[in-house]
């Protein structure tokens, strides 16, 4: 049998704290106030925000998730002068302070960060200033502390300074704190490197997926077929026997073949609580569950909004936020109407297959790229039917549309399965990271160098 990589300590004792359990015999269970100080952040008025060139960074809770702030708070969007900090009664936290969210959903994310230079915090955050302990060890200890378990009950989870000051920590001697911190720095860096490599693999697979789809819907599956200029600059050459058409020319010959959900006051949230007619919403499309959802309207409201009725075979498209996601209403779909954040498209199936149109809108991104260009902006948050009507689509013969759709469904399923496997591996690595930190800072494993551990064991025996 393989010997375990990490061994427990030679002896343990009851910590006296129920949730902490046993700790190594030579450790102490101390309140956080015994090894450092805690201070809440200050209010940060809107009219003081947005300045970036003052001396002192003023971090808001959202900055903890900003790129570049994964461990140390290096990137800031706001700053203040020392005189402004005094006027706002904002404490200037020293470098080495460990910061975390103290209220709301951000608290449950259990993020901990180090301040790299003297800084202020807004009133949704709190800082722990290590005193009689190693700062990196303290960072790992607080990282392993589940704030959700400590949070005060209520609609909005929160912790306060007094509560945090009394929160116990399992405290080893200072040299051992440093050994634990060095061990965790080394091991978490190794895990983080593996995670980064796997995330890069996912990015490469997704790039491969996009390139595969885009090529299939613009060039076809036969690389030897004669080509012609499409007449659309961004599209380039297409197979000689294909057509290029605007979406409005491949819609069903019915009134309302493209329809946007009723915006604004025409359909309020309070009107979607109960009733007989289903409201197909954005969440159902994003989750690919058109049978789910609990939004319904009355027959009276349905009669008023009859123009937005949905029909089997409709292509539903999300139009706000997560734009361009698609789903096809099945033949047995429940009678319903569009949510304000959805659009329906009814293609002329004699010219374009619904699945082939769905791929071009959602998968090949060529439609969304055109919409972004039309919007004259770098990003878009809303799709308008007027713009969607004008986008260019490739139009192979129907039998080739079917073959391309089948090919892409098969190949993208294979890539998606690979991505899911890699995501699962990333999840397991992150769980291992969390478990390793918890085990080291609570003394479940002895990570000291062998000579130090042997010396300590000898002292305990003596």
Average pLDDT over residues 266-274: 75
DSSP codes of every residue in 55-83: SEEEE-GGGGGSTT-SSEE---S-EE-HH
* In the predicted structure, residue 327 carries a pLDDT above the cut 50: yes
Q: What is the pLDDT of residue 368?
A: 76
Q: Is 107 left (phi over 0), alpha (psi -120 to 50) or beta?
A: alpha
pLDDT digits (tens, 9 = 90+) for 367-381: 778 877 766 555 667
Share of the chain above pLDDT 70, in %: 94
> Distance between CA 332 and CA 151 in Å, rounded?
47
> Distance between CA 216 and CA 210 in Å, rounded?
10
Residue predicted with more confidence, 221 or 379: 221
Pick the closest to residue 146 from 108, 96, 118 (CA basis): 108
Q: What is the pLDDT of residue 461?
A: 41
Average pLDDT over residues 132-153: 90
User: Dihedral of the CA atoms 158, 164, 167, 170 (nearest 10)?
Assistant: 110
pLDDT digits (tens, 9 = 90+) for 61-93: 999 999 999 999 999 999 999 999 999 999 999
pLDDT grade, residue 462 (50/70/90)?
A: very low
Q: What is the pLDDT of residue 265?
A: 55
Q: What is the pLDDT of residue 340?
A: 87
pLDDT grade, residue 286 (50/70/90)?
A: confident
Which residues in 301-386 belong to E strands, given as ranges?
309-310, 315-318, 326-328, 336-338, 342-345
Average pLDDT over residues 33-41: 95
> String of b and e for 379-402 (b: at least 16 CB within 10 Å)?
ebeebebebbeebbbbbbeeebbe
- Determine how many CB atoms are found less than 10 A away from the CB of residue 450: 8
* In the predicted structure, residue 273 carries a pLDDT above the cut 80: no
Average pLDDT over residues 280-304: 82
Average pLDDT over residues 331-340: 88
Q: What is the pLDDT of residue 2?
A: 45
* In the predicted structure, residue 455 carries a pLDDT above the cut 60: no
CATH code: domain 243-395 is 3.90.220.20
Same fold, 12-192+426-461 and 243-395: yes
Q: What is the pLDDT of residue 267?
A: 75
> Distance between CA 121 and CA 39 in Å, rounded?
10
Q: How many residues does the chain have?
A: 462
Q: What is the pLDDT of residue 84?
A: 94
Are 307 and 257 spatial neighbours (Cβ–Cβ below 8 Å)?
Answer: no
Q: What is the residue extent of each domain of the chain?
A: 12-192+426-461, 243-395
Average pLDDT, the chain: 89
pLDDT grade, residue 459 (50/70/90)?
A: low
- The answer to which of 33-42, 324-333, 444-453 has the lowest mean pLDDT is 444-453
Q: Is 25 helix (H, G, I), strand (E, B) or coil?
A: coil
pLDDT grade, residue 1 (50/70/90)?
A: very low
CATH code: domain 12-192+426-461 is 3.90.220.20
């Amino acid at each position: 049998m393989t010997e375990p990589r990490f061994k427990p300590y030679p002896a343990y004792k009851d910590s006296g704290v129920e949730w902490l359990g046993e700790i190594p015999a030579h450790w102490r269970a101390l309140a956080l106030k015994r090894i450092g100080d805690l201070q809440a952040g200050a209010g940060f008025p809107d009219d003081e925000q947005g300045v970036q060139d003052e001396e002192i960074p003023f971090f808001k809770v959202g900055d903890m998730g900003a790129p570049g702030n994964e461990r140390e708070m290096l990137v800031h969007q706001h700053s203040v002068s020392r005189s402004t900090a005094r006027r706002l009664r904002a404490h200037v936290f020293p470098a080495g302070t460990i910061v975390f969210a103290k209220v709301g959903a951000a608290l449950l994310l259990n993020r901990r960060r180090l301040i790299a230079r003297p800084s202020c915090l807004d009133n949704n955050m709190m800082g722990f200033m290590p005193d009689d302990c190693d700062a990196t060890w303290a960072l790992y200890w607080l990282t392993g502390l589940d704030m959700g378990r400590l949070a005060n009950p209520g609609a909005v989870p929160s912790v306060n300074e007094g509560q945090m000051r009394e929160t116990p920590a399992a405290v080893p001697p200072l040299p051992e704190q440093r050994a634990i911190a060095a061990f965790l720095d080394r091991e978490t860096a190794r895990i983080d490197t593996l995670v980064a490599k796997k995330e890069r693999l996912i990015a490469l697979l997704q790039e491969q997926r996009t390139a595969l789809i885009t090529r299939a819907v613009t060039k076809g599956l036969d690389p030897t077929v004669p080509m012609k200029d499409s007449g659309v600059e961004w599209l380039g050459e297409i197979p000689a026997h294909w057509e290029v058409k605007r979406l409005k020319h491949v819609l069903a010959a019915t009134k309302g073949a493209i329809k946007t959900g009723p915006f604004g006051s025409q359909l309020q949230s309070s009107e979607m609580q109960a009733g007989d007619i289903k409201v197909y919403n954005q969440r159902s499309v994003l989750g690919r569950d058109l049978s789910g959802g609990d939004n319904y309207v009355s027959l009276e409201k349905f009669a008023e909004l009859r123009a937005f009725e949905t029909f089997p075979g409709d292509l539903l498209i999300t139009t706000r936020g997560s734009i361009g996601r698609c789903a096809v209403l099945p033949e047995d779909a429940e009678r319903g109407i569009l949510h304000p954040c959805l659009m329906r498209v009814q293609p002329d199936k004699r010219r374009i297959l619904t699945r082939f149109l769905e791929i071009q809108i959602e998968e090949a991104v060529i439609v969304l790229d055109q919409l972004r260009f039309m919007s004259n902006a770098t990003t878009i948050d809303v799709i308008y039917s007027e713009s969607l009507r004008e986008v260019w689509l490739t139009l192979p013969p129907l039998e080739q549309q079917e073959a391309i759709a089948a090919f892409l469904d098969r190949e993208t399923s294979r890539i998606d399965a690979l991505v899911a496997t890699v995501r699962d591996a990333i999840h397991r690595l992150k769980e291992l990271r969390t478990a390793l930190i918890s085990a080291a800072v609570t003394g479940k494993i002895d990570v000291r160098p062998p000579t130090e551990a042997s010396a300590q064991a000898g002292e305990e025996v003596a």
